Amino acid sequence: MKTAVVISDSHGNISRLNELKTIFAESDYIIHLGDTSSDGSAVRSEFPDKTAVINGNCDFIKLGEDEAVIEIENVKIFATHGHLYSVKSTLSKLAARAKELNCSIALYGHTHSAREDVIGGVTLINPGNLSKYSRNSYCYLVINGDKAVAKTVLL
């Protein structure tokens, strides 16, 4: 069994990231889905072997990848910020891209709203945001073999 903390849209709210350090330390993976990748890079500097950083639309200095496929146990996960897939208006493009990459989960941010949907057999998970401007949340993902369970944690 492996665990992942999925965060997005921190927008410079380093104090909130610092509050999560204990959870970061205890988790097997940390995935920052962009906006701001420098925040994700700061987390990666402290936890270099288990942090993936994705660039978002507000990341003018790109310190991560635009998208990634991450395999945890027997689960393939597509990670992106979401702006390149028009997630504010539809999730079908995101689901199609994940399916094309043989991923059963797609992680995305950009909308600042936590949610979980299933489209075409792909589970789409948005952890919400960690910005200073709205209610904060993250996703705690537990993977065991080929099964994954996501829990949105409100802060």
Mean pLDDT, residues 137-143: 98
Q: What is the largest CA-CA distance in the chain?
A: 38
* Rounded distance between C-alpha atoms, residue 95 and residue 78, angstroms: 9
Residue 61: pLDDT band with limits 50, 70, 90: confident
Q: How confident is residue 139, by pLDDT bands cut at 50, 70 and 90?
A: very high
The predicted model gives 95-110 an average pLDDT of 98
Q: Which two tokens stand for residue 67?
A: 């998208």
Q: How far apart are CA 56 and CA 40, in angstroms?
A: 11
The pLDDT score that the predictor gives to residue 89 is 98
Domain annotation for the chain: domains and CATH numbers? 2-154 (3.60.21.10)
**Which strands, in side-by-side order, build the sheet including 115-119?**
67-72, 75-80, 105-107, 122-126, 115-119
